[in-house]
């Protein structure tokens, strides 16, 4: 792979770290800026909501801009957003900085895969995209727990400065290694993309995505107070827990792709959602034992993030069958649905904490997972993906 592709991977590592590192330092932020833990949770939910809205809107508005300049400027804005978060004097300032960062994140991920594909010959396109997204995987396994440890051991602002440094490396590598001209086909207009929401099967898939992934973040947003208050973990063990969770999300991601390949979309979604609901339902009972809690976290991470490849493959399959001219836009809306789930799940978890203890959040998450199972069973037609569609889903 050319060095330009690895410069994109450095960028996705920084982006993935800053999105999810916040879950490990929410209590510290709440204490330092004198807000409640549910209010601090808005740093997760509004970040994801900004991606949900910003991805289709700003991707369409920037569709005709030069790709090289666009990705460099996006990472520069991302850098400034993290720097502003690190020096934020108040919670409101921090929240604005996070929203600005999220908008840069949204457009970068929307255009990044097409840029990676354009940097290599056609037969290497899927490999280039995989290398780019390996940065996000590394962020889940290493960046998030390490950033959380740094934030708890020193100061919650330090992870933002570390990510600012990573973003600076990313900007310099993009400037150094991206070619002068990156060919691309301008995406369809926003109004054309919005017509996809009139397709009932695609809309059903987006609803499943939002409900299923949202179930994860009802609990995951507040995993740090859950583990400290109920399991009795110290700061170091919370970070070990995040690392274990991240490792099993990677394993679940690979397994989910193979399951969709072998069993078809509807069956695979039901299996994954059932595993997610059961693992979340066990959490209130296992969280009081350190060993059982870690095992439960591993199982939850495995099923919770196996949703990604299953539903993404299903969206591509449906789009190829029903709206073949808009496969890319259909896939992009599913990414928006993921972030809508993150935003909604975080908000629901925060409202639960306003009225009940943190141990209640898993039950609210189970309710969302059960709703996703119901939608899948009642509204989704059974389909079996073809190998070439799975290849396109990976791309």
Residues 90-106: b if buried by 16+ CB within 10 A, e if exposed: ebeebbbbbbbbbbbbb
Convert the pLDDT of each residue in 250-285 to its tens digit: 888 778 877 877 887 889 899 999 999 999 999 999
> Domain check: are 26 and 174 in the same one?
yes
Token look-up 């299953």 returns 310
Tabulate helix, strand, coil % of the chain (nearest 5).
85, 0, 15
How many separate domains does the chain show? 2
Answer yes or no: do 63 and 96 share one domain. yes
Q: Specify the pTM.
A: 0.80
pLDDT of residue 344: 92
On whether both 183 and 211 belong to a single domain, the answer is: no
Diameter of the chain measured on Cα atoms: 57
* Same domain, yes or no: 182 and 209: no
- pLDDT for the residue 384: 53
Domain region containing 261: 189-395
Does 81 share its domain with 4? yes
**Are 92 and 172 in a shared domain?**
yes
Around Cβ 226, how many Cβ atoms within 10 Å?
Answer: 25
Give the pLDDT confidence of 350-359 residue by residue, as tens digits. 999 988 999 9
Domain check: are 205 and 297 in the same one? Answer: yes
Mean pLDDT of the chain: 87
pLDDT of 119 strictly over 90: no
Q: End of a domain among 155, 187, 219?
A: 187
Residues 229 and 334 placed together within one structural domain of the fold: yes
- Residue 40, pLDDT > 50, answer yes
Residues 380 and 279 in one domain: yes
Identify the residue whose tokens are 């602002």. 157
Q: Do 138 and 236 fall into the same domain?
A: no
Residue 162 sits in the same domain as residue 87:
yes
pLDDT band at 325 (very low <50, low <70, confident <90, very high): low
List C-alpha distances in Å: 34 to 29, 31, 223, 291. Answer: 8, 5, 20, 33
Span 50-79, mean pLDDT? 87
- Please identify, among 124, 158, 187, the residue that sits at the C-terminal boundary of a domain: 187
Q: Is the pLDDT of residue 388 over 60?
A: no
Tally of CB atoms within 10 A around 347: 22
Q: What is the CATH number of the domain that holds 297?
A: 1.20.1250.20
Of the three residues 147, 169, 187, the one that is the final residue of a domain is 187
What spatial distance separates the first Cα and last Cα of the chain, rounded to whole Å? 15
Same domain membership, residue 321 and residue 211: yes
């Amino acid at each position: 792979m050319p060095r330009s592709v690895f410069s994109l991977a450095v960028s996705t590592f920084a982006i993935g770290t800053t999105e999810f590192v916040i879950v490990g330092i929410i209590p510290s932020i709440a204490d330092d800026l004198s807000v409640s833990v549910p209010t601090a949770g808005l740093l997760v939910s509004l970040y994801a909501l900004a991606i949900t809205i910003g991805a289709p809107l700003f991707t369409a508005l920037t569709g005709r801009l030069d790709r090289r300049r666009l990705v460099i400027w996006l990472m520069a804005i991302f850098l400034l957003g993290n720097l502003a978060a690190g020096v934020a004097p108040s919670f409101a300032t921090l929240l604005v900085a996070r929203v600005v960062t999220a908008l840069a994140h949204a457009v970068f991920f929307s255009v990044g895969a097409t840029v990676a594909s354009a940097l290599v010959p056609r037969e290497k396109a899927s490999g280039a995209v995989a290398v780019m997204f390996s940065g996000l995987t590394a962020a889940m396994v290493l960046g998030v727990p390490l950033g959380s440890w740094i934030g708890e051991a020193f100061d919650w602002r330090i992870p933002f400065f570390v990510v600012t440094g990573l973003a600076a490396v990313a900007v310099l590598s993009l400037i150094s290694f991206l070619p002068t001209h990156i060919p691309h086909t301008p995406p369809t207009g926003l109004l054309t993309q919005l017509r996809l929401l009139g397709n009932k099967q695609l809309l059903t898939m987006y609803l499943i995505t939002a409900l299923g992934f949202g179930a994860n973040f009802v609990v995951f947003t507040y995993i740090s107070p859950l583990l400290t208050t109920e399991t009795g973990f110290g700061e170091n063990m919370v970070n070990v827990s995040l690392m274990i969770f991240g490792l099993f999300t990677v394993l679940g991601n690979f397994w989910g792709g193979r399951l969709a390949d072998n069993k078809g979309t509807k069956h695979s979604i039901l299996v994954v959602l059932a595993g997610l609901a059961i693992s979340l339902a066990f959490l209130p009972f296992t969280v009081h034992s350190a060993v059982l809690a870690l095992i439960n976290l591993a199982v939850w991470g495995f099923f919770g993030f196996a949703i990604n490849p299953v539903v993404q493959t299903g969206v591509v399959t449906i789009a190829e069958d029903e709206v073949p001219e808009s496969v890319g836009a259909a896939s992009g809306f599913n990414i928006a649905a993921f972030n809508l789930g993150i935003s909604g799940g975080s908000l629901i978890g925060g409202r639960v904490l306003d009225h009940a203890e943190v141990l209640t959040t898993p039950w609210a998450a189970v309710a969302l997972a059960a709703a996703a199972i119901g939608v899948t069973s009642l509204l989704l037609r059974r389909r079996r993906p073809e190998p070439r569609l799975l290849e396109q889903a990976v791309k």
